[in-house]
Structure 1
Amino acid sequence: MLFLQDVAYAHPNRDLLFSDINLSVNRQDKIALVGHNGAGKSTLLKILAGWLKPTNGRVNAGSEPYYVPQLFGQFNDFTIAQALRVSDKLTALKAILEGELTDSNLTLLGDDWAIQERCEQALAHWKLDALDLSQRMETLSGGQKTRVFLSGIMIHNPEIILLDEPGNHLDRQGRNTLYEYITSTTGTLLVVSHDRILLNLLNTVFELDKRGISVYGGNYDFYAAQKAIESDALNQELKSTEKALRKARETERETMQRQQKLDARGKKKQEKAGLPTIVMNTLKNNAEKSTSRIKGVHTEKTESIAKDLGQLRSQLPDTGKMKLDLDNSALHKGKILVTAENLNAGFGHLLWKKRLDFQILGGDRMMIKGLNGTGKTTLIKLILGHIQPVSGTLERADFRAIYIDQDYSFIDNHLSVYEQTQRCNTGALQEHEIRTRLNRFLFNKEYWDKPCSALSGGEKMRLMLCTLTIGNQAPDMIILDEPTNNLDMQNIEILIGAVNEYQGTLLVVSHDTYFLEQVRAGKVIDLDELV
């Protein structure tokens, strides 16, 4: 149904992204495409969708795939109908109903007399019935744009569906609708996502890297278990190879010491025997050649083992290298940081139908729960003191907070990577120490002068964590606003590890259930109850 043979892709600057991609997707397969940020997952989906041409290789599809992209900026000037590729049919239908029974209109419409009704039903299914098909895409929120493209699946009823991060910008209700579709559909799915619940609804995992595609016959949990087995085997092989290298070096040292003693004894015997100088020189040369051969054999063996060891170490995951090691927050656990009573906000009208009461204590791990449009971002601004309540009271203690949104706007795109770290260097660390910490967070010297604007979401997240270690003193509160939207699974695990090391107060806005469970955000401010 969908076949790739020897597919490769290189960027316009000729940097190779991947090569030797061979895969076969059968009818009704439900496949998760995983890989690190930058591995080329979105690029591969665009190649399958026909949006990009591969540098090499062939792509064959049994029917035209329907593609839901991750980014929608290119559609801002389109109407909803144009983005869904139904504008011509709807125009033709309207003209026919008004009496323009031309061959052109009939050809455009075909037999699809139910196109208007089907569009309305699809939009209603995705809770978009308030939208008009003539509305421009630029007027929609990120979540609405995602729902528009997902509604196109019901409109076109394609056999092959390609989804690139379809859960991004969807609230809990939208994600549940997406889960129901994935569970019930008989279509062929190829999905890129960091949503672990979604990934576990798919029955096969394709892992993409520069070497090609590796296939794992199971859902994401099965894949993760297999990767853990592979990791254990790699660590065992690594320990065994390290042991072999130590043994080889020890054997080389002992052999050379033994040979040197033999050479010294032989020289003494020759001197006592009073052999002619020419004979002595010949025997000396032979002894040196013999020693050199022995040394060469051992050197070759140790270099071979050392090379194998280097290759094994290059396969180790990077997650274990990154540690925050922050000083603890100066605030003691249990201190009252924020108290809200009868709180409400708004711009010309009250945001919530009911008043909000809550308290945040030092050391709390708390989530703000609510569907899109319930005022989660507004509440964060209130807590940070950026806006004032319309009614009620909100009392704040003196504490230091850092706000981290899904775009990591904490990072200044006008600065280089090194300049960003220097801006946060409140502890006056030396240059070599800053570069050491950058390396620990996987920013080698090739990154130091790179503009922050060129970093991926995962790279910005790692740089943000790195700057926290350079600032040294932990903030009293970290606020995370949809932090996983632009991260792959590896970087989500890195973020989870960093957040769980943090001992201060955590406030999280996220629709990612797995992430919320892992960071133990147990206390809840529920805004759904207020609207």
Structure 2
Amino acid sequence: MTTTVSVTLDSVAWHTPDGRCLFSDLNARFDARPTGLVGRNGVGKSVLAQLLAGLREPSAGQCRRIGRVHYLAQQVAAPAGQRVAELAAVDNVVDALRRIEAGSTQQADFDTVGEQWGLRDNLQQALADAGLQGVDVDTPVDNLSGGQRMRVALVGALLQPAELLILDEPSNHLDLAGRQWLQQQLAQRGQGYLLVSHDRLLLDQVQRIIELSPQGLSSHGGNHESYTQARAAEKAAAETLLQQRRQERRKGEQALQAQRQRLEQRSARGNRDAANANQAPILLGLQRQRAQASLGKAKQQLQQRHETLHDAVRQAQALIDEPAPVLLPPVLEKTAPEWVARLQQVQLPFVAESLQCLELALRRGERVAVSGINGAGKSTLLKVLAGQLAPRSGEAQLLVPAALLDQQLELLPAHLSALQGVRACNPQMEEGELRSRLSLLGLDATQAQLPSAQLSGGQRLKAALACALYAEPPAQLLLLDEPGNHLDLDALAALESLLRQYRGTLVVVSHDEAFLQAIGISARLRATEEGWRWQPS
């Protein structure tokens, strides 16, 4: 039986350390229903999730919780030397169990274990079910790939004794099998969960979608497909209303202009009549004062009506989403060589023996999707192609300028702002042009100058994309490692549009089949148990 759980927001607001208001006056109730939380990059979804979990306190308002809530961040922190038990956040119970087995009679150890006597066995079974055979509680996290680390963190989160589980972008870094495993685990979960996600497959199995926007929170019953249909209908209605309000303003302004002209003509005629009248000067002065006061009051009323018309348009405009981000494709030289990179008798480092050997030649304009299970060596392959990692043996040739956008976004160091990062990649471009391009990506003047560590995951990814795409010389080989991670749906559509226009060679690691279809893949390189397999599309 599902335990009652709820988190209620009452006029909640959050301000950043520099005083900016991220959101305000949020009122909502989250319960045990499987729910998705969506919204544009940078709108504050992760901050809101942490408020719901009690990891942050609101700047204003109240957040009331009934039941236990557990939050898993989208970025899995794994310090050097950490064990799997620590990454899964169950090390305190595992270590207490070991001490009890060794003879400990300390009450603190028994209190730590509580009712979780079978946790270690449950964890081991859950790791195996997640495709992590050979991994146990003491396995060093350093031995795991990014996707494997995420699976471990998810296993630990699913084992937590919480009535509400909040997962922030949980499918990032997961391969296809990992995503299917996560879908199955959530479908079987007997308690509530909240997904901060733009994964369309995960969101299609929730019962409610809550959208966070600059206007606040809005709730939509049903899954992602229902939400998309409702959002399209709302957008169409909002656009119709905006057109109506603009038409009303146009007609209203014409009427106001005509009234203003009549007032001016009446005032001028009154002045002429008063000048020709045979009246005492003091009476003429009083009459002019009354006329001017009447004219001023009438003009004030006209101005108020003018502002009312503009307010109606602004209110209708606020219902329309912000413009989708725009990525400008780099201009590439038409004289690029036919072959852009070669791997000859290469032995890849840090991968399984069956996947170490690779022969590969990339032709100008090819669009290659790299796929395979987590830990197969996909990220390692991209680093070797980019010249950032030397092969164990063999020759790796990079014949054109290249850019690698890895999962850690090392192209944009955390201490640099988006503006500084892009300028470092292209010092010749005018600052105004740099700012303009970042603005098109949805990074305003303030966000463009913040250290990238202070940006949301999606905003930082956009900034790193700008570093890769607007470099000088522009990259003729673009290497992307899970580029859709952290991007909202509109930003993902913008990325798909840009990559369709990109005329260089593209190698992309992704497990999002819809994304790969959208960018027009011409070949696939698959990591299989028998080795690497090339397959033209």
511-520 vs 300-309, greater mean Cα deviation: 511-520
Structure 2 equivalent of residue 409 of structure 1? 410
Answer with 450-459 or 506-515: which moved more.
450-459
Rounded to whole Å, the distance in 1 between the matches of 2:490 and 2:424 is 27
Matches within 5 A, 1:33-432: 33-54=37-58, 56-62=61-67, 64-73=68-77, 79-82=83-86, 84=88, 86-87=90-91, 90=94, 114-137=118-141, 140-152=144-156, 155-156=159-160, 158-209=162-213, 212-267=216-271, 281=285, 284-320=288-324, 322-326=325-329, 328-331=331-334, 336-338=338-340, 343-347=345-349, 352=354, 356=358, 359-386=361-388, 398-425=399-426, 428-429=429-430, 431-432=431-432
Alpha carbons of 1:170 and 1:296: their partners in 2 closer, same or farther (altered >3 Å)? Answer: same
2:36–2:210 contact (8 Å) kept in structure 1: yes
- Label 1:131 to 1:251 Cα distance change in 2 as closer, same or farther (>3 A): same
Structure-2 change in CA distance of 1:288 and 1:158 (3 Å):
closer
CA drift of 1:416 comes to: 4.2
* Aligned CA distance change for structure 1 residues 432 and 210 (closer, same or farther; 3 Å): closer
Q: Which amino acid aligns with 2:495?
A: L
**Contact 1:404/1:480, CA 8 A, preserved across alignment:** yes
Residue pair 1:196, 1:514 contacting (<8 A) in 2 also = no
Moved more, 379-388 or 515-524: 379-388
1:144-166: CA deviation from partner (whole Å, max 9, x where unpaired): 33222322356456543222221
Instruction: Report percent identity of matched pairs.
Output: 28
Q: Which moved more, 1:295-304 or 1:404-413?
A: 404-413
The one-character-per-residue Cα deviations of 1:162-211 (angstroms, maximum 9, x if unpaired) are 22221122222211211222233333221112222111121211123465
Which residue identity does 1:345 align to in structure 2?
Answer: Q
Gaps of 5+ in 2: 533-537
SS at match of 1:73: coil
**Contact in 1 for aligned 2:342/2:361 (Cα 8 Å):** yes
Count of residue pairs brought into register by the alignment: 525
1:520 aligns with 2:525: no
- C-alpha distance in 2, partners of 1:102/1:284? 97
CA distance in 1, matches of 2:143, 2:394: 33
Decide which moves more: 414-423 or 517-526. 414-423
Give 3-state SS (helix, strand or coil) of 1:486's partner.
coil
Q: Please, what TM-score do these two structures have when normalized by structure 1?
A: 0.83
Judge conservation of contact 1:79–1:135 (CA < 8 Å) in 2.
yes
CA 283–362 in structure 1, closer or farther in 2 if over 3 Å, else same: farther
Q: Which runs of 5+ in 1 are unaligned?
A: none
User: 1:509, CA displacement in angstroms?
Assistant: 1.0
Q: Deviations over 1:341-383 (max 9, x none)?
A: 8753234998545864555443333211122222223332343
Structure 2 CA distance for aligned equivalents of residues 339 and 75 of structure 1: 34
Q: Distance in 2 between matches of 1:160 and 1:65?
A: 5
Given the two structures, how large is their TM-score scaled by the length of structure 2? 0.82
Matched, 1:6 2:6: no
CA contact 1:327–1:472 (8 Å) conserved in 2 = no
Secondary structure of the corresponding residue to residue 257 of structure 1: helix
Question: Would the alpha carbon gap of residues 331 and 361 (structure 1) be closer, same or farther in structure 2, given more than 3 Å must change?
Answer: farther
Change (3 A) 1:371 1:57: same
8 A contact 2:414–2:453 mirrored in 1:
yes
What is the alpha-carbon distance in structure 1 between the residues aligned to residue 451 and residue 444 of structure 2?
Answer: 14
Q: Report the secondary structure of 1:527's partner residue.
A: strand
3-state secondary structure, aligned to 1:186: coil
Q: SS in structure 2 opposite 1:181?
A: helix
The Cα offsets for residues 76-102 of structure 1, whole Å up to 9 and x where unpaired, read as 676433554655655565566667788
Letter in 1 for 2:122: R
Q: 1:410 to 1:91 in 2, by over 3 A?
A: closer
Pair 1:508 & 2:521 matched: no
Amino acid at match of 1:362: R
Amino acid at match of 2:372: G
Letter in 2 for 1:509: V
**Cα distance in structure 2, aligned partners of 1:465 and 1:31:** 30
User: 1:77 touches 1:138 (CA, 8 Å); kept in 2?
Assistant: yes
Q: Which amino acid aligns with 1:366?
A: V
Distance 1:52 1:76, change over 3 A: farther
Equivalents in 1 of 2:188, 2:20: separation in Å?
Answer: 40
Verify the 8 A CA contact 1:350 1:390 in the aligned structure 2: no
Please tell me the residue identity of whatever aligns with 2:62. Answer: G
Specify the alignment match of 2:36 in structure 1: 32
One-letter identity of the residue aligned with 2:506:
L
Q: How far apart are the structure 1 equivalents of 2:469 and 2:293?
A: 55
The residue type equivalent to 2:300 in the other structure is G
Instruction: Tell me how large the CA RMSD over aligned residues is.
Output: 3.9
What is the deviation of 1:508?
1.1
